[in-house]
Amino acid sequence: MNSLRYEPLRQYHNDALTSVWCDEDVIRYTSIGTPCTRKEVETKCSLLQDHDVFAIFRGNDFLGIVGCLRMDCKKKLFGLFYQLRKSA
């Protein structure tokens, strides 16, 4: 079994991110209201890549993303999240 690999989220992950953010069956479990367009995927990725968000892979297979965002720096409050694509 291949172990998980994490890569800092970057624009070259956009194609893989469509399997998460453009899929209505997946986003209904997220805070994303409607499936994203390709342009929206690019924008979201651009915004998130400056934070602690990572693409998750098993071998070369993209599984989703995981992140830990700062919600309130003064209170040292963080939000941990993950979004996984549907199984292949």
Query: pTM of the entire structure?
Result: 0.86
The CATH topology of domain 4-84 is: Aminopeptidase (3.40.630)
pLDDT at 70: 85
Mean pLDDT value of segment 15-36: 93
What integer pLDDT is reported at residue 87 of this predicted model? 82
pLDDT tens column, 40-86 = 999 999 999 988 999 999 999 999 999 998 888 888 888 899 999 99
Q: How many CB atoms lie within 10 A of CB 56?
A: 19
Domain boundaries, the chain: 4-84
For residue 88, pLDDT beyond 70:
no
